[in-house]
Structure 1
Amino acid sequence: MSSPVEPRTSGTLDLGAPLVAALAARCPFPPPGTPVTVAVSGGADSLALLVLAVAAGCEVVAVHVDHGIRAGSAAEAEVVADVAGRLGAGFRAEQVVVAPGPNLEARARAARYGVLPADVLTGHTADDRAETVLLNLARGAGPAGMAGIRRSPRRPLVDVRRQETEALCAALGLLPVQDPSNLDPAFLRNRVRHELLPLLADLGRRDPVPLLVRQAELFAEVDDALVALAVLVDPTSAADLRAAARPVAGAAIRAWLLAAGVGDGHPAEAAAVDRVLAVAAGDAVACQVAGGWRVARTAGRLRLEPPDRPA
């Protein structure tokens, strides 16, 4: 359920702070006057995104999505509406129902993006990129997953640090929403953020975030090269997969599975690719890949079999 877009006002928040100009210069926003939709949870990153989009001269509508999964979340929309009004931006509130099942983060994300436009701007920072690299490493991702959160016109803040978004909010007197779930160790990303990254900083005696971001950039280059070669490989042909170099065959398999909707938009893990290659080699007749999907082989051809559905 969505609310009507609240009209823009003249804005009362002073964007003349030097930090605003310095950060805006590092963020590739669309040209002034371009209409944009900005996803704003009320946290420091998304508030900074909202501020910088307005400072860049875009015609901004801030959208807050209430997932309805914790107490007090509805009140956060009021915080976002207030900041949007002080900036002279439009505002819209959305309420979604999160589907039941495992992996709350993934289900909430799916519900959220279901009501946001495809070109919505999001406040992913360099810190988010580093966290995603470690998360994907832990699940055995290949080059596509290790590339993490890629550069995109939809992610203007990917070179900005979280400490900078917090400093921007402080400079403007904005009080970001403090989501208690961001401290819950039940969520793996929180443990990476609050435990693993500080440990890496201590062990390496340096900030690991720039190093991890650089690794993500390198993996993105490798993945792009593999994808270009993988289009020459038929992933349903056992002979093609056997003949191709393993990284290229793996890229072809990942592209095939992604196109079929296997893995909820995430590239297949290395172990799943290994199992498919074993089927192609004749070492197995079928294998599980993800989410109940199977790959089976008949007469030199591989096919995808969807999960069994309840009768």
Structure 2
Amino acid sequence: MVSSGRLPSRLGQRREGIERALSERGIALESLLARSNLDEWGSEPIRIGVSGGPDSMGLAVLAWAHGQQVLAVHIDHGIRPGSHKEGAVIADALAPFGIGLLEYRVAVEHGGNLEDRARQARLARLRGAATAHTMDDQAETVLANLLRGAGLIGVGAMQPGARHPTLGLRRAELRAVCEAAGVAVLDDPSNTDSRFVRNRVRAELIPLASTILQRDIVPILARTATQSQEYVVALDLILGQLANDPAELPAVLARHRLNAQIVAGLGLRLTSAQLEHVREVAVGARRGHQIVHAIEVRRRHDKLVFLDRDGAVLLTLDLT
């Protein structure tokens, strides 16, 4: 990380301007940085998944203000008309901050469960890049996972850290960063499409629950996620003393361990049914399985291998 005092004078002046503009809104830039997990990247360049929306653009600017070298990664799903032009808009908006853009195009066919298939295709390409999920996203994930019948891991939602550095920030704060920095953002119309469960959780369920409780439930749900994560950590410690071979563990513990390894290695969260399919491959009950649209899992001797649609290895787990 490079301190703000060592930024070239022109960039330093830009940072000071952002800091003043945020202060006028009652927001302290240093507070935003302190509540993020950008320090976990150390001096390494940070890769950030950027959609062009205020959350990801705000994170890119925050990382720059933190003095880090930033590379933005943009995924075009090709779902919306004209989406192929968004990369150029994003590149122009980030160029004044010395942030480069790496752009990928992935094919996601229209049909059932479009939201999840697009997400899985995006994750397969991002490969560990940081994402700008906020405390609001965390709360929505807790509720959406509960509605899908998730257990302890699902309620734990996203883990704060280098991959999710802004879970301590609110969505409105990242939008304020963009406005203070004069960064143009793209508002994705799919974020208000009522066909998607998460959008209805955001637009209807969370406001209703906040009205019922007469308080903002987002921090409460985020705290619930943190408590669930603490239980998961304790369970992982216990599992660390047991056999690594899924065949030697009760199915529920085997799924738990596989889930932790898949999340750590791919940033991919699977449903209980998908995890059971992975476990069956691991214990030899299946030869292989396509767990999501773009990722297949196979067992090769004492290894569990995850492959993308082109056959490239994304993750290898040792089963011995």
Structure 2 length normalisation: TM-score?
0.72
Q: 1:165 aligns with which of 155, 166, 174?
A: 174
Whether the 8 Å CA contact 1:293–1:304 is kept in 2: the answer is no
Q: Is 1:57 matched up with 2:67?
A: yes
Partner of 1:132: 141
Whether the 8 Å CA contact 1:183–1:190 is kept in 2: the answer is yes
C-alpha separation in 2, matches of 1:128 and 1:72: 26
Post-superposition shift, 1:223? 1.2
Whether the 8 Å CA contact 2:278–2:289 is kept in 1: the answer is no
C-alpha separation in 1, matches of 2:205 and 2:231: 26
Q: 1:47 aligns with which of 42, 48, 57?
A: 57
- For residues 178-217 of structure 1, the aligned pairs below 5 Å read 178-217=187-226
- For residues 88-107 of structure 1, the aligned pairs below 5 Å read 88-98=98-108, 102-107=112-117
Whether the 8 Å CA contact 1:50–1:62 is kept in 2: the answer is yes
C-alpha separation in 2, matches of 1:174 and 1:71: 23
**How many pairs are equivalent?**
264
Partner of 2:269: 266
Quick one: structure 1 residues 160 and 258, their matched pair in 2 at CA, closer, same or farther if it must change by over 3 Å? closer
Quick one: structure 1 residues 265 and 258, their matched pair in 2 at CA, closer, same or farther if it must change by over 3 Å? farther
User: Any idea what SS the aligned residue of 1:254 has?
Assistant: helix
C-alpha separation in 1, matches of 2:43 and 2:275: 44
Per-residue displacement from partner, 1:77-120 (whole Å, max 9, x unpaired)? Answer: 122111211212112222122256642222212222333343x1
Partner of 2:6: none
Q: 2:80 aligns with which of 70, 81, 106?
A: 70
Q: 1:304 aligns with which of 276, 285, 288?
A: 285
User: Any idea what SS the aligned residue of 1:150 has?
Assistant: coil
Unpaired runs of at least 5, structure 1? 1-9, 242-248, 270-288, 297-301
Largest Rg, 1 or 2: 1
Partner of 1:115: 125
User: Any idea what SS the aligned residue of 2:125 has?
Assistant: coil
Whether the 8 Å CA contact 2:47–2:73 is kept in 1: the answer is yes
Unpaired runs of at least 5, structure 2? 1-9, 23-28, 291-320
C-alpha separation in 2, matches of 1:11 and 1:73: 30
User: Any idea what SS the aligned residue of 1:152 has?
Assistant: coil
C-alpha separation in 1, matches of 2:102 and 2:262: 33
C-alpha separation in 1, matches of 2:177 and 2:225: 26
Whether the 8 Å CA contact 1:32–1:56 is kept in 2: the answer is no
The code of the aligned residue for 1:15 comes to R
Whether the 8 Å CA contact 1:32–1:57 is kept in 2: the answer is no
Q: Which segment is superposed worse, 211-220 or 58-67?
A: 58-67
User: Any idea what SS the aligned residue of 1:14 has?
Assistant: helix
C-alpha separation in 1, matches of 2:231 and 2:145: 16
Structure with the higher fraction of residues in helix conformation: 2
Partner of 1:252: 254
User: Any idea what SS the aligned residue of 1:62 has?
Assistant: strand
Indicate the percent of aligned positions where both proteins have the same amino acid. 39
Per-residue displacement from partner, 1:37-58 (whole Å, max 9, x unpaired)? Answer: 1111110100101101111111
Q: 1:236 aligns with which of 247, 269, 285?
A: 247
